Amino acid sequence: MNNERQPDDRQSSDSNPTLTTRQGHPVTDNQNIRTVGDRGPSTLENYHFIEKITHFDRERIPERVVHARGAGAHGIFEAYGHVGSEPVSAYTRARLFQEAGKQTPLFARFSTVIHGMHSPETLRDPRGFAIKFYTEDGNWDLVGNNLKIFFIRDPLKFPDMVHAFKPDPITNVQDMERFFDFVSMSPEATHMITFLFSPWGIPANYRQMQGSGVNTYKWVNQNGEAVLVKYHWEPLKQGIKNLRQREANEIQALNFNHATLDLYEAIERGEFPEWELCVQIMSDGEHPELNFDPLDPTKLWPQEQFPFLPVGKMTLNRNPADYFTEVEQVSFGTGVLVDGLDFSDDKLLQGRTFSYSDTQRYRVGTNYLQLPINAPKTDVATNQSGGQMLYRPDRAPGQNPHVNYEPSSLGGLHEASERGKEHRPHYDADLTRQKIGRANDFEQAGDTYRAFEDWERDELIDNLVDALSVCSSGIQERMIRHLTEADAGYGRRVAEGLAQGGHRKIDSGQTDPEQAVDLSKRLGHEAD
């Protein structure tokens, strides 16, 4: 028996880079582990094999608990320098907005919400729309969705909502009975459901959809004066496109990665998608004249009263060099604001702000902010040290390296001076557990229902009837009550659809697009 390793045609030519271990040792044999004889037991000192296989065993990090499936791209934001007819400085001192033409690099990640990392991108689901701006004052993350409102307004309900929407803990299959059980007992979700089950619940791809910060934030000017603000991304030349359920089924039968590919290929072709960033502005306060609370994320701010004011433009122009290092490890959070931007008392926003960095310390690791995709492009100087995977101290040039505390008289870091006057809201209220007033759970749902075009309303009814037809009668009745509160015709049409036996589901195992069309016709899915 010949124990010698035989040279073979896999030997790399000198022009190809040499394979090494992570220790930098050249690898001379990447085909055979080290054994006693060619049939013998392997030895434990096989460093290369052990490094390779143990690293492979750890290739995955936990996927995001929500928004696991996503696609990302790099780009730039260009400021307009004004808001309406006024200089932007009247409202915010955030530097990225000030001068017309000022450019800020950014990274965008779009996502679906409920299902896992490799789930179809055709599913009815909100779409995540998260942007990390690498500003000169550190990072600003605007973590939004495509839809402009949300299901709930209190963060305490979020884990229950996600459990109800995610697959059943026994069958591991999403179940509309569980979904609508929660929704029918959360009347504030009626407005969001109206959008979600209409074609707006399946954007055609990630380029042709809107984005929204959903929550109410604040802008603060040089004098410490604040206004309430909502952010919206409006697609420019690529426009908006949503899908009927039938169209989504047809796409899914052929390709369940269509949105990721669409974004990637458009950027490779040089067709860079663009969105305009618009703000709606309201004076800071409770606004008792409105029939909703400006801090309620289940509500739209009427555009007639609060127009969309463009403040800049985003262009996505570069694909990630590596999916995992960039798209998977990028970590956005609503707490990541820069000077001139502030939180409002929107409770959902405050709950979110704790949740994001908490999950990222677990999902990515303690030092996740040192990864290139997450690190600001400004100097970072903290006294935080240690933790898994720290690969450099956050030390400033000229800092005494012995001093990792503050205050110090020995050349450590010092506090910055305030850039402008601090915004100091005043509170005078009992500490309590209470729902906000003006819940008004149904009125805007009715307005939205009536604002849809006929085909959108028809789709909405079909999709709701389809989904509710698997639910028990108690859940159906609660939903019909809520929809009727929103609009009598809305409730009646869903009730009639259910009384006629609803729709049967299209077999999700189907692969032939021709069949999908025929089957959907037969089952009454045709919306036109």
> Which of 190, 221, 319, 355 touches ligand HEM by CB under 6 A?
355
> Which of 150, 165, 206, 275 touches ligand HEM by CB under 6 A?
150
Task: Tell whether residue 111 is a contact of ligand HEM (CB under 6 A).
Answer: yes
To ligand HEM, the closest distance from the beta carbon of 5 in angstroms equals: 45
* 522: phi then psi, degrees, rounded to nearest 5: -60, -35
3-state DSSP call for residue 85?
A: coil
**Stretch 237-256 residues interacting with ligand HEM (CB under 6 A):** none
Peptide bond before residue 310 is cis, with ω within 30 degrees of 0: no
**Stretch 121-140 residues interacting with ligand HEM (CB under 6 A):** 128, 130
* 127: phi then psi, degrees, rounded to nearest 5: -110, 135
Q: What is the DSSP string of 94-160?
A: -GGGTSTT-EEEEEEEEEESSS-TT--TTSSS-EEEEEEEEEBTEEEEEEEESSSS-S-S-GGGHHH
| Residue keyed to tokens 């492009």 | 377
To ligand HEM, the closest distance from the beta carbon of 252 in angstroms equals: 22
Q: Which of 232, 227, 126, 191 is nearest to 439 (CA)?
A: 191
CB burial class (10 A; 0-12, 13-18, 19+) of residue 436?
middle
Task: Tell whether residue 343 is a contact of ligand HEM (CB under 6 A).
Answer: no
Contact 472, 177 (CB under 8 A): yes
**Stretch 155-174 residues interacting with ligand HEM (CB under 6 A):** 155, 158
Task: Tell whether residue 356 is a contact of ligand HEM (CB under 6 A).
Answer: yes
Task: Tell whether residue 344 is a contact of ligand HEM (CB under 6 A).
Answer: no
To ligand HEM, the closest distance from the beta carbon of 308 in angstroms equals: 17
For ligand HEM, give the closer residue by CB, 403 or 439: 439
In 284-404, beta strands by DSSP E: 309-318, 341-343
Q: Which of 109, 107, 199 is nearest to 147 (CA)?
A: 199
To ligand HEM, the closest distance from the beta carbon of 134 in angstroms equals: 16
**Stretch 198-217 residues interacting with ligand HEM (CB under 6 A):** 214
How big is the CA angle at 295 (ends 290 and 300), to the nearest 5 degrees? Answer: 65
To ligand HEM, the closest distance from the beta carbon of 326 in angstroms equals: 11
Q: How far apart are CA 403 and CA 399, in angstroms?
A: 8
Q: How far apart are CA 99 and CA 86, in angstroms?
A: 12
Task: Tell whether residue 331 is a contact of ligand HEM (CB under 6 A).
Answer: yes
Task: Tell whether residue 100 is a contact of ligand HEM (CB under 6 A).
Answer: no
Q: How far apart are CA 522 and CA 504, in angstroms?
A: 10
**Stretch 34-53 residues interacting with ligand HEM (CB under 6 A):** none
> By beta-carbon distance, which residue lies closest to ligand HEM?
128
The residues that are catalytic are 67, 145
To ligand HEM, the closest distance from the beta carbon of 150 in angstroms equals: 4
To ligand HEM, the closest distance from the beta carbon of 334 in angstroms equals: 8
Name the segment binding ligand HEM (CB under 6 A); options: 13-21, 59-67, 369-377, 440-448: 59-67
For ligand HEM, give the closer residue by CB, 66 or 338: 66
> Which of 104, 112, 145, 367 touches ligand HEM by CB under 6 A?
145
Q: How far apart are CA 311 and CA 3, in angstroms?
A: 71
Task: Tell whether residue 359 is a contact of ligand HEM (CB under 6 A).
Answer: yes
Binding mask 67-86 for ligand HEM (x = CB under 6 A): x--x----------------
Residues that bind ligand HEM in the complex, under the rule CB under 6 A: 64-67, 70, 109, 111, 128, 130, 143-145, 150, 155, 158, 214, 330-332, 348, 351-352, 355-356, 359-360, 363
